[in-house]
Structure 1
């Protein structure tokens, strides 16, 4: 005879007894008698117990009638009465069982009762009465041991699989036969022939199929309601947590929670810290109705916050709840976003801020949250981040934006060249008392100093960029992030290179890469470059670039990749400069670069030009740039680079235009530092190419008076040009000084050019042995720079391009302050086009285009007055080969004399001034 009690029928009087005596194994006659007895019991005897400490007495007549049936049945053979899930049995049935048990001690009747020990019995008196009987035995069924799990698996899958799976399946099931059987069902389904292949290794128990989820749901719903609630809370927390914390979240007392945790552990569902199988947590949350789940996460968040938990775990609960209805929750989300960002979890930080923005009602807090969101987006996409500008504008106008966030808005506007709005933002910021608050005043000072060297056109109304920079006293120049701009200011102002370099390295050692320190690190790297330490700048850029890549922050990556490219160019490593410059451009779309695109383009134009890759240089020059780029420092670098391209491709007049435009802006903005932008050197080379030696010498001598010209690389390059403007007998001495100053590790390309000029100077004076030695060293240096060996012409003037690339107009910035400084003095009249008289047209004569590269090189040297033997030594070819090339040149250009070559090639013939 069997019966199964259920929670649904626990309030049905004698429901269990009715099941027992309607059992099909009972003879029909006895079944009818039992039914009649139970149907005739008075209603009062069917009522519930008076309480957990008492039990109503059963109807004696009915009880004796049922006893008679059992005794009669036992006379025919042994009788087993089995009742499962006794914890849900109704009270009257339990009363009847006690009555029968006391009166059938010697009969052949076995009463077998099964209940869940994890569920508190609502009938403690029943247990007390039952277990005091001498013929009652209590048997506890524990979870399966490892050996038991092995046996069960072996019975289903065989010995080999049992050895393979026992450890993992015992850990995942906790020894629960229910869970173990479900996991094995899922395993067999996943590995069934012809089925889908298993997503996980066979030694890992899968819990993605229906069997495990069904078993888990059954287990939870058979448990007490408190156990189900606690299981959900544990799932929400992601860990068992403390009973006090769970109790606070659920509104339960600690003892109730402790009992629920113990009962869940006894079922094999919970381990010491969490669910035994990760899928259990997912399954528990999945079966929780969405509204109840969201409410649970909110209550867990409040409990964690009350317990003093860090912002991160609290924010995770709010994120799972998908809302943050209280003000303290908004603050927690913002703090957690900062922590996540510091840990490099940008996506998590954005999710926290988005949730806070959705539920925030306070205007000031909304502005701060929007700024935080923009700050994070800026690291990945400066263009996308600008979508927040309008809201921040409104907040700034309303006085709801703090100084830190006002600085962010201004920097964003400056990056994209929106200078009118940037000026207005600065004015509003100051109007709301930025100068009165010490912290905001410092933020404003840091911003204006940064603007002084990056966007100086906004500062000229105050008397020049650097005139508005904060002082660099002991406090302002401490080796902390925001003072790096002051260190750069000092270098730009007075050229104090070594002291500035030492301070910059101290800053690089002490400042941690982050959104708030990017400007400082960039300024420190630029200081090292301007202080003639490109090797150190390269090493630091490599380190910071790796760190930026780990943070997956494209904005940081482009800054350090550009600095690395600049350092490589200054070192003379052209291939590395191109590689890092191209990598920088590839990390952001052109539209996201704003005015800063001038920096990588400048390095790429310079490096490809020096390598003779003119088609590539043209491609970079044709890259669209914003007009406002020429109101920023980036435009200066771009103009300087484009000038060198024009110079290298035989357009000295266009080159001079670019260099002088660059010079006017640099002078007006107080950025006239040769180590930053050596525009006078380029202008001097262009003047030499135009035959304007006096003008070239004036430019070089003026450069020698500028701050920072004492640095080896800058001074060596300047002395090389000074030699080119001097008398032939003075050139070797100046060039030897230049060679002694220049070092392969910091200025390899300039050293190669100085050696090439020294070769020419010795050769002009007949010192062939010295010329050969200098030429050999020059060729080695040129090769190490990945530039053509014959790059430099006699006298230090850049040679024309081997083939004329597509024309590039020498466009100067339309809004350049032409009256900022007077034009450089000219010692030659100009023609109607504004080009110095006698200057060649800005394209190669068509006649020269018929020559091969080798023929053109020989023709140009011959036109410059170099003998055939000297041409052979310069180009490393025999005199016979020189003569053969000249024969073909004469024929192709239709000339019969060497002195006619210059005119046909579009070059200036040798004269007294250029000798």
Structure 2
């Protein structure tokens, strides 16, 4: 039957809830036929209640399905039409066709019977309800809690609930306004019991399976639950209609948490066991399935399937989450796995999570117990931990023993690296040229061999060849580097060699790639970060060095040594004597913990300069003696000797010990031809000797300073130019050298003439002001101007008075302004 033109229902603008409310409010007497479609919790009932209030306020009776015979008298509002039987749905369809009727029907998207589908066809395009947008959630939260919560908490709430209004409301109702935390309250989860009860047994089992990790695929879940595919498909449709899943059919986090909380353990365990068996049989991941069982009493009971699953999950977690892997291996033992079966992997997990004492304890047990499987992994763990704790000689011995009795990729090569690092080159050569089987030629063993060759070349040959070999080793190890537990990474060795020969860009790119690829796993990450912090330190960028140091961790002696040396180096370059004094105690502790080896010469050099500035060289002398003896055993390799000799020369400069400086300058002259950095250091050393002797030549000093800057030592170059400026008696040369120092520090040139305040200060006061701004002490200013320090102090007092400065900080700021500095 066709409707008359005068009683045609009013269309709903935009098919939206707001449009439907506005149509009804504009004319409650007007005919309207509309459907409201939305999953469970999306607000169908709430919308119907608002429409009901509008009608009642207008004096229109509100009717339901029990009063269809009176449809002409009022507005018929029907909720949950998907639950009605076919007979009632047929009556609703007949009502929808009557002229002048006011009918609004709400229903879920599915499953739907044929009768409901026919009714929906007559209702026309539905008003679609979905989740709330973040701004709507924030508004609702503000009304409920009395204040708008932080955006990050609103974002978390949207993620947990999918924006489903009912679920959002449940969490808000159970949340205390003053205790906003990213945690779902138990009271909110308990409210889902009714939703789960309405699903029916099949759908409830499906939801349980999905909550413990099953993919929502009808055939997979059907096999898991012994249900036919049609039953599962229907159940999944009901789950979707209930608003319990997202667009990808994954359970909303709040629903998953509720299911896990409200489902009895035995029911969950039955599903988990079946799912684990399926995954184990097909080689699929089991970590997501068994991780929720950690800490539960049921996980402590002997259970063969769970024991196997925990062990497999531990292997899956080990590369990315070693601490979690430890817990899983422990759970496997509790569930029945023999402790010896996972001992090596437990040791590795302990090492990579930073518990080096436990790792070494477990590894030592395995090394002496020939019945333990994976003994070679235990040896690898022990060798790595020993190196990380600074015991490179012991690590090398263990690797050498392993090469003769057990094999793991690279054991012989790492033994050679350790032997070279502790000054035993002949033994390393004998090991490297041994005709014994070197093991399978894997990427890791190949990278280890190149690592050993590169370290050897750095001691016996060309810096360029050594660095190239080590960079290739780092590149070869990258694809499997994250899974490798090794005493040293090729990237770290390459960075050290690059720092010793002035190739800072190579060091930077190599370390960046190592950090991106996770080379060496979690245990070696801090080493790469600390070496990366060393690069800005060398360049004089203490702000960046300090920031990078703050990002890096330190888990053992080797890391602490680097970190403490960085602290001392930053304090020294910043001229922060208070921080330098604090670092002294830390440096003495770090040096005592870590025996001197080839790879500790950089931090040792920073300690030497710091000790000189504090006039406390006695404590560092024994370590310097060990370093010299180590270098002598290796034939005094230029690449490794030059930077330490340079630092010792800098210490002599600080103490103004000309004879000591000459000795170190002679050492640098002897290795000047080895690489560009060594040449720049030798030139710088010659210049420093002349500066200390009071023979400052501007051109020579600038050339030496720029050469140091070009070799990567920007701070050293600027310091040389600055000190030359302080020590020259030629005012023109002084100003030129000061500008050179500023340029090497990356600062813009500074006009020398006093600006608007020129008529305020005398010529002598201008000279004093410029030298004070350059950083000279009163004594140094007096020496340059051939006046006493007391006279300089009087000049400063008069300048302060004339410029109206209350303190020294005001004075320096005003002088910089006048000098345009």
TM-score range, shorter chain: 0.5 to 0.7
CA change 1:207–1:407 in 2 (3 A) is same
Bigger mean CA offset, 737-746 vs 325-334: 325-334
2:605 is matched with: 640
Contact 1:855 1:885 in 2 (8 A): yes
2:676 is matched with: 712
1:240 is matched with: 216
CA distance in 2, matches of 1:355, 1:142: 61
Q: Once the 2 structures are TM-superposed, how far is the Cα of residue 348 of structure 1 from its aligned partner? A: 5.0
Query: What secondary structure does 1:208 align onto?
Result: helix
Alignment of 1:400-799 (within 5 A): 400=372, 401-417=374-390, 425-426=398-399, 429-430=402-403, 433-434=405-406, 437=407, 440=408, 442-452=409-419, 456-457=421-422, 460=424, 463=426, 481-483=447-449, 485-486=451-452, 488-506=454-472, 511=478, 514=482, 516=484, 519-538=489-508, 540-541=510-511, 555-581=523-549, 583-584=551-552, 587-588=553-554, 592-623=555-586, 624-625=589-590, 627-633=592-598, 636-649=601-614, 659-668=624-633, 672-675=637-640, 678-684=643-649, 696-706=661-671, 710-725=674-689, 738-739=704-705, 741-744=707-710, 746-755=712-721, 772-781=735-744
CA distance in 1, matches of 2:654, 2:254: 77
Q: Once the 2 structures are TM-superposed, how far is the Cα of residue 489 of structure 1 from its aligned partner? A: 0.4
Contact 1:568 1:574 in 2 (8 A): yes
Q: Once the 2 structures are TM-superposed, how far is the Cα of residue 622 of structure 1 from its aligned partner? A: 0.7
Contact 1:485 1:520 in 2 (8 A): yes
1:610-640 Cα distance to aligned partner (Å, 9 max, x none) = 4322221121111133634134456544443
2:234 is matched with: 262
Query: What secondary structure does 2:129 align onto?
Result: helix
Q: Once the 2 structures are TM-superposed, how far is the Cα of residue 739 of structure 1 from its aligned partner? A: 4.6
Give the alignment partner of residue 390 of structure 1, picking from 342, 361, 364.
361
Contact 2:304 2:335 in 1 (8 A): no
Contact 1:568 1:577 in 2 (8 A): yes
Contact 2:390 2:557 in 1 (8 A): yes
Q: Does 1:358 align with 2:334?
A: yes
CA distance in 1, matches of 2:679, 2:647: 14
Contact 1:528 1:536 in 2 (8 A): yes
Q: Does 1:208 align with 2:176?
A: no
1:373 is matched with: 349
Query: What secondary structure does 1:742 align onto?
Result: helix
Runs of 5+ unmatched residues, structure 2: 1-81, 97-102, 110-125, 133-163, 749-774, 796-821
Q: Once the 2 structures are TM-superposed, how far is the Cα of residue 565 of structure 1 from its aligned partner? A: 2.7
Query: What secondary structure does 2:217 align onto?
Result: coil
1:537-583 Cα distance to aligned partner (Å, 9 max, x none) = 245546655777xx998755532332123212322334433443455
CA change 1:647–1:545 in 2 (3 A) is same
CA change 1:196–1:142 in 2 (3 A) is farther
CA distance in 1, matches of 2:170, 2:648: 80
Q: Once the 2 structures are TM-superposed, how far is the Cα of residue 737 of structure 1 from its aligned partner? A: 6.1
CA change 1:191–1:282 in 2 (3 A) is closer
Give the alignment partner of residue 166 of structure 1, picking from 109, 115, 129.
129
CA change 1:605–1:857 in 2 (3 A) is same
CA distance in 2, matches of 1:184, 1:579: 44
CA change 1:148–1:323 in 2 (3 A) is farther
Q: Once the 2 structures are TM-superposed, how far is the Cα of residue 523 of structure 1 from its aligned partner? A: 1.7
CA distance in 2, matches of 1:883, 1:191: 73
Give the alignment partner of residue 322 of structure 1, picking from 275, 283, 299.
299
CA distance in 2, matches of 1:452, 1:691: 37
CA change 1:465–1:493 in 2 (3 A) is same
Query: What secondary structure does 1:259 align onto?
Result: helix
CA distance in 1, matches of 2:203, 2:619: 84
CA distance in 2, matches of 1:142, 1:236: 43
Q: Does 1:857 align with 2:780?
A: yes
Work out the number of aligned pairs and report it.
608
Alignment of 1:33-72 (within 5 A): none
Give the alignment partner of residue 269 of structure 2, picking from 294, 301, 304.
294
Contact 2:457 2:463 in 1 (8 A): yes
Contact 2:539 2:714 in 1 (8 A): yes
CA change 1:452–1:296 in 2 (3 A) is same
Q: Once the 2 structures are TM-superposed, how far is the Cα of residue 470 of structure 1 from its aligned partner? A: 7.2
CA distance in 1, matches of 2:167, 2:698: 88
Give the alignment partner of residue 105 of structure 2, picking from 148, 170, 178.
148
1:339-384 Cα distance to aligned partner (Å, 9 max, x none) = 4455x4556545543433433534552223313422431xxx3xx3
1:913 is matched with: none
CA distance in 1, matches of 2:619, 2:176: 70
Bigger mean CA offset, 332-341 vs 685-694: 685-694
Query: What secondary structure does 1:309 align onto?
Result: coil
CA distance in 2, matches of 1:610, 1:574: 7
CA distance in 1, matches of 2:395, 2:444: 28
1:165-209 Cα distance to aligned partner (Å, 9 max, x none) = 93349xxxxxxxxxxxxx9998888888x9977999xxx9x9936
Contact 1:573 1:784 in 2 (8 A): no
Query: What secondary structure does 2:535 align onto?
Result: helix
CA distance in 2, matches of 1:884, 1:341: 70
Q: Once the 2 structures are TM-superposed, how far is the Cα of residue 526 of structure 1 from its aligned partner? A: 1.8
CA distance in 1, matches of 2:90, 2:636: 86
1:378-423 Cα distance to aligned partner (Å, 9 max, x none) = xxx3xx3422332322111113343233111222133235679757
Contact 1:644 1:655 in 2 (8 A): no
Q: Once the 2 structures are TM-superposed, how far is the Cα of residue 227 of structure 1 from its aligned partner? A: 6.4
CA change 1:557–1:313 in 2 (3 A) is closer
Query: What secondary structure does 1:148 align onto?
Result: strand
Taking structure 1 as the reference length, what is the TM-score of the superposition?
0.54
CA distance in 1, matches of 2:385, 2:465: 32
CA distance in 2, matches of 1:730, 1:191: 76
CA change 1:671–1:541 in 2 (3 A) is farther
1:2-51 Cα distance to aligned partner (Å, 9 max, x none) = xxxxxxxxxxxxxxxxxxxxxxxxxxxxxxxxxxxxxxxxxxxxxxxxxx
Q: Once the 2 structures are TM-superposed, how far is the Cα of residue 487 of structure 1 from its aligned partner? A: 5.5
CA change 1:595–1:141 in 2 (3 A) is farther
Contact 2:463 2:501 in 1 (8 A): yes
1:8 is matched with: none
CA distance in 2, matches of 1:231, 1:650: 72
* Rg larger in structure: 1
